[in-house]
Chain A
Amino acid sequence: MQEAIKQTELQTEQPFLARFFPNNEWVLIAVLLFEVLLFSVIGNNFFTSSNGFEITRLAVEIGLLALAMTPIIITGGIDLSVGSMMGLSAVVFGALWRDAHVPLPLAIVITLAVGILGGYLNGAMITKLKFPPLIVTLGTFSLFRGIAEGLTRGIENYFGFPQEYLFLGQGYIFGVIPTQLPIFIIAIFVIFWILQRTAFGRSLYAIGYSQEGARHAGIKVRRSLTIIYTLSGFMASLAAVIYVAHLGQAKSDAGTGYELMAITAVVLGGASIFGGRGTILGTILGLFAIVILQNGLRLSGLPTELAGILTGVLLVAVILFDRFSKTASSVNKVSFSEEEFEVKNSQVGFICAAIVLTGLLIAGSNWMLFSSINKGGSTVPATNASSQNASQTTPPTGKKAVIGMMPKAKGDPYFISCKKGADEAAKELGAELLWDGPTDLDPAKQNEVVEAWITRGVDAIAVSVENKEAISTVLKKAKDKGIKVITWDADSNKDARDFLINQATPQGIGETLMDETARMLGGKGEFAIVTASLSAANQNEWIKYIKERMAAKYPDIKLVAIQPSDGDRDRAFQETQNILKVYPNVKVIMGIAAPAVPGIAEAVKQSGKTDVKVTGLSLPNMCKPYIKSGIVDSIVLWNTGDLGYLSVYAANALVNNKLKQGDKTIEAGKLKSIEVVGDEVRLGKPFIFNKDNVDNFDF
């Protein structure tokens, strides 16, 4: 009885909603409105026109991929290779321009041709060889990224593009509209028109419902599929051209993980992964639901990890809603089986119980984790908590500075140890510390965070720079707005910041590491390096100085292998096992990423080779057991807590005009007087941790 009433209610609603939003897009509009409303209240400067335009700038690259992904998903296919295609296009473009001296317009055309070619390759394999798109594009996902890394050896970073080209990604038309926005709008309308207003577009829906049926209806299925995969490749390379202009650099890691973002946007927009359903309006709404969520969380000072969790919840909620909505099933009768859809109350009960139980289990054990981590003392409280504590103590002098501080990666233990010191300093000074940064490998994320801070309005920004060329443009923008900029841990271009907090130069690190290695080898023998990822900028710079030092001072020492670990302890472990067998004469293995050293040490330990020593750059706590057992002879690092502490003090001093060019020293709380040379604040030389002193440190 009740069901019957519901149905009639729905039917009276149906015509209106169904006509304007054939695919339940109104749900997303509601979600979007809610997000905007929420962040307008809790965010700083969220609801401003400049932030509105900034959001669109951030959305363009993924938006282009998502636009091309929509027709593919409508046909029931998928393209996992688009992010990798961006990487390949970026390096091809960079190489053409810098190494082959091809004029920029021609380089762009050739790059787009590469995209078309790659997309056609996908299309051809899917239609001619009749392979599932998921598998083909999984293969090219590895292949394209692999070629990009192979061509550049992971190291090459193309930058210094002319201003007219960079305008495409960084400039404003009429002073307000981001340059790439018109391109994006044109793309939206072109794809919209093709997909929803042409016979070709309608045929894609038919293919999605039933390929066989479409073929019998006279649709050239193969040709259509080839066209849309080619289009996807083209859009990926177009996105790459804009991405390079946006960041000001071209590297093989461009677009890492973008394929999942694009797919998420399309599916959130109501496209059915089984094919036959989806609209461009939906995709655009889905895209902005994600982008606004990320931007809003940042401006509200909420943890950005929430974005991932909420996106996941939103995805499931939207498709669940869709599943239960009568409107959708009447439009989409065919794509699901005719089997009656019923869920027993007991099943709903079960899933709720399962979710609650898992939540409890995980919350409980995390609580244990927390208490075990916090055993030592005060450390891990979130930024909010620490700023609350800070406001209780009276700030010594000057105004309450808002300092945005960014690590290279939020989840990296090295940076967590820096944060401890930063929190301590912020508490002493009564400053508000915003700690935010990328959670994944996406090189564009750092720029996004800085942009958000500019919009939010902070007093000082302190950045550990991942991509020098990319971030310098946006840091300059911050300086122009009167925000004090310092870099710590790794430097940007000199003119993009006020001061560098220098814990050790790349040269100093490289030379100390090499000297330690030479000491262990007794000046003669073979050694190997396990690095982070092959395209990691910092590590590659250290390797450069390690090689220079070796050539200059240690002619009898040979570097036989450099293997990647991708910041993954288990990978470092396996690579070390290989090194030990392939190069039996290696007597020292150097790890130059914090998680790599324990992995190397464990592999050496398990191999039972007692004559192989381990050294490198890592955190004392991580390596303590291995240092004590003598497997790790020494590690090189500085006091990371002091680095974070000093950075906050320097940023605060800048804001209160207590630090300026020409100063010889800076007073930094417990660190007392610290030397300033030119525009560098020097923490001191890198420190060598060994068996005798490692117990004195806890980070």
Chain B
Amino acid sequence: MNFNQYKREISAAIAFLVLLIVVGIASPSFFGAGNLGDLVINNAPFLLIAIGMTLVILLGEIDISVGSQFAVASVLAGVLAKSGVPVPLLFVIIPLIGVAMGAINGALIGWFKLPSIIVTLAMLVAWRDGLRWVTEGAWVQNLPSNFQWFGLGQSTGQIVIVAIPLIIFLIFAWSLRNLNIGRAIYAVGSDSEAARLAGIEPKTITFGVFALMGGLVGLAALLNAVRFNEIPSNAGIGLELKAVAAVVVGGAAITGGRGTLIGTIIGVALLGTIGTALTFLGINPFWEKAIQGVIILAALVSDILLRKYEEKLSTDANR
């Protein structure tokens, strides 16, 4: 494996390992099977959103409407289940609703060339307030008994919830490296004009990625919703920043064209573990936000140090 190619991912992985070692020494029970299992289950739906966000960021775009889309999709999943739609069918409908929401973003950004941060900022506010207006904050309750865990029971249901994101992760990680379409995303993110001249259609790619992002958000909302038997209407607040942070901590460049899904999964693991780790370390939750900020910045600084080290190596070699 080429060290240079993965240096950003490695620095994120080192940060993650350091965190694990510190927690492991201070509180070995952190590594109990129950805790690790819970961590994986809690973060599995979020991984889907981070995968989508990676693709978006690879294009050099951003999507901050995912939290609101997540809330809309969650509530709709509940409403549809309640009105008698069979649960397996939800696997088709809810991601499609997500795709529809993502397609609006994609059309405005891809075809009309509007800046993604503005379009998705508008959607962030509009979806959230629209949902508030309609539900007036009411939760979806009295769901059919086969909704929770898809009616499969807790242990099987948990396996499904972890398996689906992992399979999707593997598919995406492989396609991004090996398929034309995957390479095209990198090409558009690096230089959209050059990509166009090379025969790729940046508009279509952008549209497709945002629609896909919406679909992944829908699926994540569904997988998260079935862990419970009620659905709150305020889900997913702040999800967009968490997703962006996970992707960036995982080494993707916000300017596009650079980043891997391996990095993203490390970023998800790192950010998903911090909160729990702090509780295990007995650190007062008042400091949690500050520590999260420090970790994001530290991931950046470690990257700088690596870059410096590398420059030194290359100048040494030149001498």
Residues of A within 8 A of B (CB): 78, 125, 129, 131-132, 134-136, 138-147, 149-150, 153-154, 260, 263-264, 267, 272-274, 303, 305-309, 311-313, 315-316, 319-320, 323, 336-337, 339, 341, 343, 347, 350-351, 354-355, 357-358, 361-362, 365-366, 368-370, 372-373, 380, 409-413, 415-416, 439, 534, 561-564, 566-570, 573-575, 577-579, 581-582, 595, 598, 602, 606-607, 621-622, 625
B42 at the interface (CB under 8 A from A): yes
| Distance of A602 Cα from B228 Cα, bound (Å) | 7
Given A316-B122, A351-B107, A139–B300 Cβ distance below 8 Å? yes
Residue pair B293, A135 in contact (C-beta under 8 Å): no
Q: Which 5 A-B pairs have the closest CB atoms?
A: A146-B290, A308-B129, A143-B293, A411-B137, A312-B126
Residue in contact with A358 in the complex, picked from B104, B235, B292, CB distance below 8 Å: B104
B34 at the interface (CB under 8 A from A): yes
Q: Known pairs A138-B241, A316-B118, A621-B141; list 12 more (Cβ under 8 Å).
A: A129-B300, A134-B62, A146-B287, A260-B121, A263-B121, A274-B115, A354-B100, A358-B101, A366-B134, A410-B132, A534-B285, A581-B35
How far does the Cβ of A630 sit from chain B's closest Cβ, in whole Å?
15
Contact check, B117 vs A139: say whether CB atoms are below 8 A apart: no
Residue of B nearest to A351 (CB): B107
* B29 within 8 Å of A (CB atoms): yes
Secondary structure of the B contact surface, majority rule: helix
Judge whether A372 and B103 touch: CB under 8 Å. no
In chain B, what residue has the closest Cβ to A314? Answer: B122
Residue of A nearest to B253 (CB): A132
Contact of A308 with B290 in the complex, beta carbons under 8 Å: no
Given contacts A135-B248, A622-B141, contact A343 B112 (CB under 8 A): yes
CA distance A139 to B80 in the complex (A): 38
Asked whether B310 is an interface residue with its Cβ less than 8 Å from the other chain, the reply is no
Interchain CB contact under 8 A, A312 and B140: no
- Closest A residue to B301 by CB, please name it: A129
- Residue numbers in A under 8 Å from B294 (CB-CB): 139, 143
Q: Are A149 and B290 in contact, CB atoms less than 8 angstroms apart?
A: yes
Which residues between 215 and 236 of chain B lie within 8 Å of chain A, taking CB atoms?
Answer: 224, 227-230, 232-235
| B300 and A369 within 8 A (CB) | no
Residue ID in chain A nearest B237 by CB atoms = A568
Tell me, in angstroms, the Cα distance from A59 to B282 when the chains sit together: 42
- B residues adjacent to A (C-beta < 8 A): 27, 29, 32, 34-35, 38, 42, 62, 72, 75-76, 79-80, 82-83, 97, 100-101, 103-104, 107-108, 111-115, 117-119, 121-126, 128-130, 132-141, 154, 192-193, 196, 224, 227-230, 232-235, 237, 241, 244-245, 248, 253-255, 275-276, 279-280, 282, 284-294, 296-297, 300-301, 304
Question: Which of chain B's residues has its CB closest to A310's CB?
Answer: B126
Which of B113, B122, B233, B275 has the most CB atoms of chain A within a 10 A radius of its CB?
B122
How far is it, in angstroms, between the C-alpha of A311 and the C-alpha of B294 when the chains are bound? 33
Contact among B62, B114, B248, B304 for A129, CB-based, below 8 A: B304
- Number of inter-chain CB pairs below 8 Å: 267
Tell me if A337 and B192 are in contact (CB < 8 A).
Answer: yes
B229 to A311, Cβ gap below 8 A? no
Nearest neighbor of B135 in chain A, beta-carbon distance = A369
Listed A/B pairs (5) with beta-carbon separation below 8 Å: A141-B241, A309-B125, A312-B126, A355-B104, A595-B234
Residues of B within 8 A of A579 (CB): 279
Are A315 and B286 in touch, CB under 8 angstroms? no
Contacts of A607 in B (CB 8 A): 34
Chain A positions within 8 Å of B32 at CB level: 581
A368→B290 contact, CB < 8 A: no
When distances are taken between beta carbons in the complex, the residues of chain B under 8 Å from A313 are 122, 126
Question: Shortest beta-carbon distance, B92 to chain A, in Å?
Answer: 13
Known: A320-B112, A347-B111, A358-B101. A142 touches B289 (CB 8 A): yes
> A358–B126 contact, CB under 8 A?
no
Question: How far is B119's CA from A303's CA once the two chains are assembled, in angstroms?
Answer: 23
